[in-house]
């Protein structure tokens, strides 16, 4: 329990925020606290959301994580990123090292970062010599990312909603070497997004997904993808690789290569 849990009885914050093991912006908790003055959106309490009726309506096998996605929106993230003292947290050196070894060294240079937030991960990828475009549906995040990283290499940021918007003109078929998706996939309409990513990637391109594994969260929070969903990602790709980003396997990374079998 955090003090915030006490302020919103019946609603576990874990359901609303990303896991702490992923890089949260500095002062993220203060921003969340501000955000949670009133409940984010009037609606059923978390126990109600977990009920079988709600699970059925949530679809995707009654996945509670999917159900909770309904409580996020671009506006939610805009508010989060509007906190005056919000700054990106640094990316652990080991994480970017693993990405470099397993993906950057062997894929081409054209990268898109899906749900880039404040753009820190996109910036680190660009420092590896990659040409990165970071997309996010929060205009506030994109504005901040542009301001924070304007001097850093071949790096651009664009507003785009991967669930709702038409595909951007410059995302052509087989135009991208790496699609990076860090702590975002569980927010997206997965079938549409994966189909899009497969189309955008070159024949040897890589979809790189970093996600929390819901069952492995040692504090019991249901965030990220379930283990079965992580395994399911392998379907239809020529190569599947996986490695854990932290020693406990709470955060895992999946490397999907070769969209055409």
Ligand X SMILES: C[S@@+](CC[C@H](N)C(=O)[O-])C[C@H]1O[C@@H](n2cnc3c(N)ncnc32)[C@H](O)[C@@H]1O
* Residues in touch with ligand X (CB under 6 A): 18, 22-23, 77, 115-117, 121, 135-138, 141, 161-163, 182-184, 187-188
Q: 115 vs 259, which CB is nearer to ligand X?
A: 115
Q: 12 vs 138, which CB is nearer to ligand X?
A: 138
Q: 50 vs 123, which CB is nearer to ligand X?
A: 123
Do the beta carbons of residue 17 and residue 186 sit within 8 Å?
A: no
Residue 10 backbone zone (phi > 0: left; psi -120 to 50: alpha; other: beta): left
Q: List the one residue out of 232, 134, 225 whose CA is nearest residue 187.
A: 225
Q: 221 vs 258, which CB is nearer to ligand X?
A: 221
Least spacing, CB of residue 223 vs ligand X, in Å = 9
Least spacing, CB of residue 120 vs ligand X, in Å = 6
Q: Is 206 helix (H, G, I), strand (E, B) or coil?
A: strand
Across the beta sheet with 251-257, the strand order is 155-159, 131-136, 110-114, 176-182, 201-212, 251-257, 239-244
Q: 77 vs 237, which CB is nearer to ligand X?
A: 77
Per the document, the length of the chain is 261
Phi, psi dihedrals of residue 57, rounded to the nearest 5°:
-65, -30
Least spacing, CB of residue 19 vs ligand X, in Å = 9
The whole-angstrom distance between residue 15's C-alpha and the CA centroid of its chain comes to 15
Q: 53 vs 90, which CB is nearer to ligand X?
A: 90
Do the beta carbons of residue 78 and residue 140 sit within 8 Å?
A: yes
Q: Which two tokens stand for residue 86?
A: 């919000």
Angle among Cα 232, 125, 18 to the nearest 5 degrees reads: 55
Q: 181 vs 233, which CB is nearer to ligand X?
A: 181
Least spacing, CB of residue 74 vs ligand X, in Å = 6
Task: Return d(Cα 78, Cα 210) in angstroms, integer.
Answer: 22
Q: Is 130 helix (H, G, I), strand (E, B) or coil?
A: coil
Least spacing, CB of residue 137 vs ligand X, in Å = 4
Least spacing, CB of residue 22 vs ligand X, in Å = 6
Least spacing, CB of residue 89 vs ligand X, in Å = 8
């Amino acid at each position: 329990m955090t003090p915030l849990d006490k302020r919103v009885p019946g609603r576990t914050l874990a359901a609303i925020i990303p896991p702490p093991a992923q890089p949260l912006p500095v002062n993220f908790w203060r921003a969340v606290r501000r955000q949670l003055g009133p409940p984010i959106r009037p609606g059923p309490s978390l126990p109600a959301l977990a009920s079988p009726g709600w699970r059925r309506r949530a679809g995707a096998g009654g996945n509670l994580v999917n159900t909770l996605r309904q409580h996020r929106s671009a506006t939610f993230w805009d508010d989060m990123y509007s906190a005056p003292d919000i700054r990106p947290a640094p990316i652990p050196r080991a994480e970017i090292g693993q990405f470099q070894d397993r993906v950057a060294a062997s894929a081409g240079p054209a990268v898109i970062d899906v749900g880039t937030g404040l753009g820190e991960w996109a910036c680190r990828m660009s420092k590896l010599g990659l040409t990165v475009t970071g997309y996010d549906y929060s205009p506030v995040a994109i504005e901040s990312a542009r301001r924070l990283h304007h001097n850093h290499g071949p790096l651009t940021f664009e507003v785009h909603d991967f669930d709702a918007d038409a595909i951007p003109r410059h995302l052509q078929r087989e135009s991208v070497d790496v699609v990076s998706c860090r702590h975002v996939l569980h927010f997206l309409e997965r079938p549409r997004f994966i189909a899009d990513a497969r189309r955008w990637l070159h024949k040897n391109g890589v979809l790189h997904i970093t996600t929390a594994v819901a069952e492995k969260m040692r504090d019991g929070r249901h965030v990220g993808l379930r283990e079965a969903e992580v395994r399911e990602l392998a379907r239809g790709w020529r190569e599947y690789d996986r490695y854990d980003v932290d020693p406990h396997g709470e955060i895992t990374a999946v490397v999907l290569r070769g969209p055409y079998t």
